[in-house]
Amino acid sequence: MSEIPGLRAASDQHGRQIPPASLARLTIYLRALNSLLAEGIERVSSEELADAAGVNSPMLRKDLSYLGSYGTRGVGYDVQYLNSQISTALGLTQDWRVAIVGAGNLGRALAGYSGFQSRGFEVVALFDADQMVVGTEVGWLRVSPVQDLATVLHRTRANMAVLAVPAPVAQALCDELVEAGITSILSFAPVVLQVPDHVQLRKVDMATELQILAYHAQRAQHPDIDPGPSARAAQ
Ligand SMILES: NC(=O)c1ccc[n+]([C@@H]2O[C@H](COP(=O)([O-])OP(=O)(O)OC[C@H]3O[C@@H](n4cnc5c(N)ncnc54)[C@H](O)[C@@H]3O)[C@@H](O)[C@H]2O)c1
Bigger pLDDT: 134 or 71?
134
Q: What is the Cα gyration radius of the chain?
A: 21
Asked whether residue 212 is domain-assigned, the answer is no
Average pLDDT, stretch 176-195? Answer: 97
Report which protein residue has its CA nearest ligand 1's atom 30.
129
- pLDDT band of 2, cuts 50, 70, 90: very low
Looking at the 3D structure of the chain, how many domains does it have? 2
Asked whether residue 121 falls in the same domain as residue 183, the answer is yes
Largest CA distance in the chain: 62
Asked whether residue 159 is domain-assigned, the answer is yes
Asked whether residue 150 falls in the same domain as residue 177, the answer is yes
* Whether ipTM exceeds 0.90: yes
CA of 208 to the centre of ligand 1 (A): 18
Asked whether residue 84 falls in the same domain as residue 105, the answer is no
Asked whether residue 116 falls in the same domain as residue 202, the answer is yes
Asked whether residue 71 falls in the same domain as residue 174, the answer is no
Asked whether residue 43 is domain-assigned, the answer is yes
Express each pLDDT in 40-59 by its tens digit. 999 999 899 999 889 999 99
Annotated binding site for NAD(+): 102-107
Asked whether residue 192 is domain-assigned, the answer is yes
Asked whether residue 57 falls in the same domain as residue 141, the answer is no
Asked whether residue 224 is domain-assigned, the answer is no
Asked whether residue 42 is domain-assigned, the answer is yes
Asked whether residue 137 falls in the same domain as residue 70, the answer is no
Asked whether residue 105 is domain-assigned, the answer is yes
CA of 98 to the centre of ligand 1 (A): 17
| Domain containing residue 132 | 96-207
Asked whether residue 115 falls in the same domain as residue 201, the answer is yes
CA of 177 to the centre of ligand 1 (A): 16
Nearest ligand 1 atom to alpha carbon 187: 1
Asked whether residue 72 falls in the same domain as residue 104, the answer is no
Express each pLDDT in 57-92 by its tens digit. 999 999 998 888 666 777 789 999 999 999 888 877
Asked whether residue 103 is domain-assigned, the answer is yes
Report which protein residue has its CA nearest ligand 1's atom 18.
104
Residue 226 pLDDT: 64
Asked whether residue 134 falls in the same domain as residue 55, the answer is no
End-of-domain residue from the set 89, 107, 126? 89
Asked whether residue 72 falls in the same domain as residue 118, the answer is no
pTM: 0.77
Protein residues whose CB sits closer than 6 Å to any atom of ligand 1 = 101-107, 127-130, 133, 146, 164-167, 169, 173, 188-190, 204-206
Report which protein residue has its CA nearest ligand 1's atom 40.
166
End-of-domain residue from the set 66, 89, 112? 89
End-of-domain residue from the set 38, 67, 89? 89
